[in-house]
Amino acid sequence: MGEVKVALQWAAVVCLLFAVSWVIRSGKDRVRGILMGIAFTLMAGVMWGYGSSWPDGAVFGMLGLVFVCLIGDFLVRAARKEVES
């Protein structure tokens, strides 16, 4: 189990790097950058929490928030495409 915990913690660090990357690279589309940054930060929390034996409710709650952020990103992207066309 120790190797799995370390792997999940490294995956959490990678997710945090993706979060920072999305916020920095978002350019003019700040809303999408912030949504994806939050989503990757929450995903890092899910991985860290799962590896650290957090309560299932906390882990699943964060996972639910990840999906909310991804749906929000999809809606923002769809609205931008509709405006551009």
Q: Are 23 and 39 in contact (CB under 8 A)?
A: no
pTM of the entire predicted model:
0.74
> What is residue 48's predicted lDDT score, i.e. its pLDDT?
82
DSSP string, 9-46: HHHHHHHHHHHHHHHHHTTT-HHHHHHHHHHHHHHHHH
pLDDT band per the 50, 70, 90 thresholds, residue 1: low
74 contacts 63 by C-beta, under 8 angstroms: no
Q: CA angle, 47 as apex, 35 and 70 as ends, to 5°?
A: 25
pLDDT for 49-76, tens place per residue? Answer: 877 777 888 888 888 888 888 888 888 8
Q: Per-domain residue ranges for the chain?
A: 2-84
